[in-house]
Amino acid sequence: MQVHQLVDALLFAVSFWLAYELRSNPLVIDLFHLQAFGAPFENFFWLYVILIPAGPLILEAQGFYARPLLCSRRMTAWQLFKGCAFTTLGLILLLFVFKMLLMLIARWIVVWFGGISFLLIFAKEEVLQTVFRSELARQQYKRRFILVGTSEETARMRAEMVAHGESDVEILAELDLNTSTIEQLVRLLHEHSVNGVILNAQGSYFDQVEAAVRACELEGVEAWLIADFFKTQISRTSFDDFYGRPILVFRSTPEASWESVLKHLIDRVGSFVLIILFSWLFALVALVIKLTSPGPVLFRQQRSGLNGRPFTIYKFRTMVTDAEQRKHELAAMNEMSGPVFKMTQDPRVTPIGRILRKFSLDEFPQLFNVLRGEMSLVGPRPLPVDEVKQFNDLAHRRRLSVKPGLTCLWQISGRNNVKDFKDWVRLDLEYIDNWSLWLDFKIFLRTIPIVLSGRGAY
């Protein structure tokens, strides 16, 4: 994998150089009627320090290097497209933050870089696929294994391999722990010259499994232990190290990865950029609230954040100052089932507040919560602490297992049409279980027209 990442890093570097040469070519300038671009290429060497390591890491976050050796062309193209798109967007964001997009680099260079990098890396993958599909390569790269476990488990594993089309894996023998010995396993290792042994057994066979691992250790053969001893419903299992001791981790939330690190980076940089861009709007809204309604400009409230940890959320005030004290008077008019209070025609909302809510302008100060690391740009909406305490289903608390966000699936699904809190939670858990940067990107893009049109607001 490291060799592939190194080659792809070089292809990203070559793509940027080709994009520069293309944009600087007089024929291209005349053909597209572009402005002459005279900045020397040496001015952009500093970008390589970021671009060369970032490109392969983003591809890795998309699962590009975890694909089967002989996967479909569609899978390769889709994962590569997402990786190149995120790399290009990251480059645009970086240049914008440093205010260099318009001053030192032509915008078409960045756009062409994305397209050229996709074409070069896809061409490399096509060449590799052609080589790997040759008969000689298949024999050389095919992995040879022995299946070890109960007869039921080995039959199930073989069926799963056939179903997944693992053409680069060959099962040469099977060993039943109920009727076989470790000596028979050693004999099979000698007879078949395998690459490894796949072990799958329940807890009652731990002694035999340990002996099999030791035998493989002495033979210098890999031993793969399928650790599905505990039947979980939604948790994903990963392997980790705890002070030198191997442990299994059962996790029902997105695993820490380069993709999650990139999400945190996008949150911080993106919120900072949005605050700068809309600072004039902040000042205008604050002035209008101050002139039309007595009381503070900002509304502060304790909300439940990651794992339920309280934090102070910031919003532009859209209600009268005693709104919280009057909430119990309107409890009978709640339109949302469950612990959450929602009301379409809430009499506590000020006239200006209705406009702010319609276009979600009251949520803008939460960009400071994102900048502080208390929220994310995309994630389940944070609920007040007192509403979280009223959860009558412990499964609902899993929505607290990720950072809350400015927008989410509930927001873009027509929030005023969701009347049952269980449906709200279902959408949040759907987001958590299927999270990816690409999903965040799609949700964020779909949020923009909804906010501009004022659809779905309370």
**Domain residue spans of the chain:** 2-132, 142-229, 258-453
Sign (positive/negative) of CA torsion 181, 186, 192, 195?
positive
Does residue 200 carry a pLDDT above 90? Answer: no
**What is the spatial distance between Cα 329 and Cα 242, in angstroms, rounded to a whole number?**
53
Backbone angles phi and psi of 16, in degrees to 5: -65, -40
pTM here?
0.62
End-to-end CA distance of the chain: 50
Q: Give per-residue pLDDT as tens, 109-141.
A: 788 888 888 999 899 888 887 776 665 555 555
pLDDT of residue 377: 93
**What is the spatial distance between Cα 251 and Cα 228, in angstroms, rounded to a whole number?**
14
Contact status, residue 238 vs residue 249, Cβ threshold 8 Å: yes
pLDDT of residue 156: 82
CATH of the domain spanning 142-229: 3.40.50.280
Higher pLDDT, residue 428 or 457: 428
Residue 102: pLDDT band (50, 70, 90) is very low
**What would the mean pLDDT of 305-322 be, rounded to a whole number?**
88
Q: What is the share, in percent, of the chain residues with pLDDT greater than 70?
A: 80
Contact status, residue 456 vs residue 414, Cβ threshold 8 Å: yes
What average pLDDT does the chain have? Answer: 80
pLDDT of residue 284: 92
Q: Give per-residue pLDDT as tens, 138-181.
A: 555 567 888 888 888 888 888 877 776 555 677 888 888 888 88
Q: How many CA atoms lie less than 13 Å away from 430 in the CB half-sphere?
A: 12
**What is the spatial distance between Cα 282 and Cα 289, in angstroms, rounded to a whole number?**
11
